[in-house]
Amino acid sequence: MNKRKLIGPTIWTLIIAAPLMLYFWNYDTTPELASVQGETVDWLLRLEFTIAAFFFALCVVFFCYALFAFRRRTGDKGEGLHFHSNTALEIAWTFIPLVIVLSIAFLGFQNLSVLGFEEGTETMEIEVTGFQWAWRFHYPEQPEMGISQAITTTELYLPIDQPIHFTTHTDDVIHSFWIPELRTKADAIPGRINELNLTPSVLGSYEVRCAELCGTDHAGMISPAEVVEQNDFVAWVDNEIAIANDPSLKGLAVAKQYGCIGCHSPDGTELAGPTWQGLYESERVFDDGTEVIADDDYLRDSILYPNEQIVEGYAANIMPMDFGERMTPEEIEEVILYIHGLSGEQSEAGE
C-alpha cells in the first residue's frame, strides 16, 4: 500500500476540519439563553459539536477522496489492491475513540452538579402541575421570598437571579416541564415528584411548553413564563394574593387551580371552550338546536356532566368528566358565583 496517498486527504481533513470546528465552537446553535445552568448545557453542546465536526470532516474527506482517487477507470478490468487488515491501525481506531468518548462521558458526569444547587443555597419553591392540557403553578408560603401567602396561578413568574427549586406533578398522564430558553426539562409523572433546579438570568417573556406527548392538545399545552425584577415579582405576588382574598374573585382562584380558565376565558378571549364573559343568564344554543338560559343549574350541570349539552361550535369530549369527584361542592359554587360576576351588565358597571 502506498502510504503517500494518505498525505493529501490528511491535509484536506485538517483544512476542512479547522474552520468547521471553529464555527461550531463559536456559534450558538441554540436559542437565547436565560438561565445560569443553561451555560453548561450550551458549553457541552458546543464541545460535542466541535468533536463531531472533526470526525465528520475526517470521514467525509477520506470518503470523497476514495470515491475519486480509487474509481474504476474506463477499460480497467483489474481488481483492487489486496490487503485486509492492519492490527495496529485497528487497535488505534478502537482505542482513540474509546478514550475520546470516555472523556466526554467523564465531562458529562462532572457537570451533573450543575443540575443541583450548592448546599445552603436559599431556593424558592414552586410546585408545577401539568394536566391535560394546561399548567398551574403553586407558590407555597415563603415570607423570606416575599410570598406572604400561598398562591396558585396559571402564569409562571420568576424573579431574576433567584435559584428556584421546581417540583413537578401531574393530575393525569405524563407531561414534561420545559422552558427552552432555560434549557433543562423535567417530566411530571403520576405518583412521583420530580425536580428541576434553575436560576433565571435574563429578563424576558418565555413559554412553558409541554415536552412529553400527552394526548389531543399536547401541542397547545403552553403557558406564559415571565422572568421579572425582584420588586416586580413581589408586586405580582401581592396582586395575586389580593385576588385570592377577594371573596368575589375566590372562584377565580379555584378556576385557576383546576385549570378551568385554560379553556374558558373570563375576558371574552376565544379558547377551546366557551368564554365565561357574559355567560350568566345568557341564551345558550346547543349543537342539537335546543336552547336554554344559563342559570345556576345549567352551570353546575355543565361542570359535572360536560358532555350532556355541547354549545354550538364547540367539540365534545374535550372537558374532563371527573370534576364532580375532584372538586368539593363548595368549590363548584364558588366558581359559579365568580361566573355571575362576569355577566355583561356588571362588567360594564365596573368600568
Partner 1 sequence: MSGDTHKVVSTSFWSLGLVRGLIGGVIAWFVGMAFVMGGRVLFGLDPVFSAEPVFVGGGVFFVLGVLIGAGAFTDWFSWARGGPVGDPDHPDPDGPQWPRYFNFDASHKVIGIQYTVTSVLTMFLGGIFALTFRTELAQPGMQFLSQDGYNTLMSLHGIVMIAAILLGVAGMANYLIPLQLGAHDMAFPRLNALSYWLALPGVILVALALPFGGFDTGWTGYPPLGTVAPLGVQFFYLGVWVVGLSSILGSANFLTTIFRMRAPGMTWFRMPIFVWGMLATSLISLFGTQFIGMAFLMVMLERLLGMGLFTPESGGDPLLFQHIFWFYSHPAVYVFILPGLGVISELLPVFCRKPLFGYRWVALSSMFIAIVGFLVWAHHMFAVGLSIPLTTFFMVTTMLVAVPTGVKFFSWLATMWEGKITFQTPMLFVLGAFLIFLMGGLSGPQNALLVTDLYLHETYWVVAHFHHTMFGGFVFPFMAAIYFWFPKATGRMYNETLGKLHFWLMFVGFFVVTTPMFRIGLLGMRRRISDYDAALGFGAHQTVTTLGAWVIGFSLLIFAYNIVRSVRSGETAPENPWSSRSLEWQISSPPPELNYEDPIIVVGDPYDYGLEDAPYTAFGSATGEAS
Question: What residues between 200 and 239 interact with partner 1 by CB under 8 A?
Answer: 209-220, 222
Tell whether residue 63 is a contact of partner 1 (CB under 8 A): yes
CB of 205 to partner 1, least distance (A): 11
88 binds partner 1 (CB under 8 A): no
Q: Which is nearer to partner 1, 170 or 302 (CB)?
A: 170
Instruction: Between 111 and 309, name the residue whose CB sits nearer to partner 1.
Output: 111
Record the cell numbers describing residue 306, joined without a space.
360536560
Decide if residue 109 touches partner 1 (CB under 8 A): yes
Is residue 80 involved in binding partner 1 (CB under 8 A)? yes
Place of cell 446553535: 29
> What is the radius of gyration, based on Cα positions, of the chain?
30
Spatial separation of the C-alpha atoms in residues 122 and 57, rounded to whole Å: 47
Question: Which contacts (CB < 8 Å, 24+ apart) does range 281-288 have?
Answer: 281/343, 282/343, 282/344, 284/309, 284/311, 285/311, 285/312, 286/310, 286/311, 286/312, 287/311, 287/312, 287/313, 287/314
Q: Which of 20, 36, 60, 160 binds partner 1 (CB under 8 A)?
A: 60
Q: Which stretch binds partner 1 (CB under 8 A): 83-91, 136-144, 299-307, 342-350?
A: 83-91
Identity at 178, one-letter amino acid code: W
Sole binder of partner 1 in the list 20, 115, 234, 235 (CB under 8 A): 115
44 binds partner 1 (CB under 8 A): yes
In terms of CB distance, is 26 or 94 closer to partner 1?
94
**Residues in 8-37 that interact with partner 1 by CB under 8 A:** 29-31
Question: Would you count residue 45 as binding partner 1 (CB under 8 A)?
Answer: yes
Q: Tell me if 213 sits within 8 A of 178, measured CB to CB.
A: no
Among 5, 121, 140, 271, binds partner 1 (CB under 8 A): 5
- Per-residue CA distances from 221 to 134, 213, 302 (Å): 5, 10, 23
3-state secondary structure labels for all residues of 24-61: HHHCCCCCCCCEHHHHHHHHHHHHHHHHHHHHHHHHHH
Task: List binders of partner 1 among 262-291 (CB under 8 A).
Answer: none
Q: Which of residues 172-191 bind partner 1 (CB under 8 A)?
A: 172-174, 176, 178, 180-181, 183-187, 189-191
Phi, psi of 207, deg, nearest 5: -140, 140
CB 164, min distance to partner 1, A: 16
Please state the closest distance from residue 275 (CB atom) to partner 1, in A.
21
Check binding of 66 to partner 1 (CB under 8 A): yes
The β-bridge partners of 147 are 142
* Shortest Å, Cβ 133 to partner 1: 10
